[in-house]
Amino acid sequence: MTKAEKAQYVIDELERLYPETPVPLDHTDPYTLLIAVLLSAQCTDERVNKITPSLFKMANNPFDMVKHSVEEIRAIIRPCGLSPSKSKAIHRLSEILIEKYNGEVPQELDLLEELPGVGHKTASVVVAQSFGIPAFPVDTHIHRLMYRWGFTNGKNVVQTERDAKRLFPEDKWNKLHLQIIFYGREYSPARGWNIEKDYISTKIGRKSEINKLLKA
């Protein structure tokens, strides 16, 4: 198979497995998605979804959020980890949204990345899932699978994103990045990787890595 044929195979298989791609983080609008994605750094989506109902009951928009102290925010989000920095970021970015954007979340990637606690991946998720703007957020699942499938050298997530955007059609990016995440969680986890279960990697992945695992 050529690389283009492998890419099409991945697209076809993931569409078969995951025709629907609900966003894993519970949210109601761009602001609540932004906060949920920020909280998900080094925290599972499941844990974030247990915490955000209480947080968003307290404040689900920047105007209400700034009425509460950093300490109040931290008390709720503590189970997510990194709560000191995350609570400060949530409070300050809410202030900035009010000061600069009338309380609205900007759609521009570079403006989002200027907000406290918002990195490139977080900003990419928001523009893709809230505004439908083509983006390819790369998390650990995507980084791992792009390498296992032989689509990138695996050096860093920046290179992985570039390779993904070159390889896959732009109109597929927003859905495909979620499909890859779902596949990684179900078939190709970082720990306890079962090569027989991960059939896409077996079919198109790096031969040296696959052969090494099969001989183990």
Q: Which residues are catalytic?
A: 121, 139
Buried b (16+ CB within 10 A) or exposed e, 87-107: bebbbebbeebbeeeebebbe
The first and second tokens of residue 177, run together, are: 């990045």
* CA 201 – CA 212 distance, rounded (Å): 13
The first and second tokens of residue 97, run together, are: 């949204």
For helices 83-101 and 70-77, angle between their N-to-C axes, nearest 10 degrees: 130
Report how far apart, in Å, the C-alpha atoms of 76 and of each of 41, 53, 129, 161, 213 are: 16, 10, 25, 33, 43
Q: Is the dihedral of CA 94, 100, 105, 110 positive or negative?
A: negative
Residue identified by tokens 């700034």 is 66
